[in-house]
Amino acid sequence: MRRLTLFGTGLLGLLLCVGCREPVFRTHAYSHCIQNCDPNLVRIELSPVEASLPVGGEQVLVASVVDKEGKFSSGQRVEWIICRSPGGVGEIVLVDESGIFLADRGSKMDNTNAITYTNQFDHTFEKARDGGVDLDTLLGKRGIDELQKGQTWIVISSGVPGETHVMAYAPGIQGPVKSKAFAVVRWKKLGK
């Protein structure tokens, strides 16, 4: 009877964890690549690499995971980190929550850490912010602010002047250099 109770408790715990997400931080650097790295992925790109905005503005950062053929790869996990150097400013405001299943939907862990997944479809940024897919882009009609399949995004902002240093990390890419991309956003006070 005791074994049956333990089995039932363990099974209930597993069922409750369906859809649970992995933590952003790992205690063993890069050992995940032994099993989870895709040998076809070669780098992550971040755009824009540099930007300047007035305090209180919003900056969209777009990450693209690139394969050996130069194409963007969909369904890739991207971990976003705002590097908190002395005097660093800025917060993550919005994240790409698009995804078909709960397990591949992005989420903000806190104001300096987030996880997103590269998109399965092309869509406009406005629809992406609303969590939907734009039918026009699926039919091949290009929008102005278009996100392509294999890209993901976050929005950052700052209420004070300074610099925000952002790192986008793709754990599916082997190698400590190719799996990371960096950007800096400078926030300036507008003159009176």
How would DSSP label each residue in 4-34?
HHHHHHHHHHHHHTTTPPPPS--SSTTTTHH
Q: What is the pLDDT of residue 171?
A: 93
What is the DSSP pairing of strand 151-157 with strand 41-47?
Answer: unpaired
Q: What is the pLDDT of residue 16?
A: 47
Is there a domain that residue 180 lies in? yes
pLDDT of residue 87: 82
- What is the per-residue pLDDT across 71-86, written as a single tens digit (0 to 9) for each? 999 989 999 999 987 8
Higher-confidence residue of 21 and 4: namely 4
pLDDT tens string 42-61: 999 999 999 999 999 999 99
12 has a pLDDT exceeding 60: no
Whether the pLDDT of residue 165 is over 60: the answer is yes
Mean pLDDT computed over 148-167: 93
Q: Two tokens at 71? A: 């194409």
Mean pLDDT for the stretch of residues 66-70: 95
Confirm whether 5 is domain-assigned.
Answer: no
Structure tokens at 79: 């971990």
Rounded distance between C-alpha atoms, residue 42 and residue 38, angstroms: 9
pLDDT at position 11: 54
Cα–Cα distance measured from residue 82 to residue 166, given in angstroms and rounded to the nearest whole number: 5
Query: What is the domain range of residue 46?
Result: 32-188
Q: Are 81 and 166 in contact (CB under 8 A)?
A: yes
More confident: 94 or 15: 94
Alpha carbon 2 to its chain centroid, in Å, reads: 44
pLDDT at 116 over 50: yes
| Beta carbons of 25 and 157 less than 8 angstroms apart | no
CATH code of the domain in which 148 resides: 2.60.40.10
Nearby residues of 134 by Cβ (< 8 Å), 6 or more positions away:
123, 124, 126, 127, 143
Residue 3 maps to a domain: no
**Average pLDDT score over residue span 156-181:** 93
C-alpha 117/C-alpha 125 separation (Å) is 15
- In this prediction, residues 179-190 reach a mean pLDDT of 93
Number of domains in the chain: 1
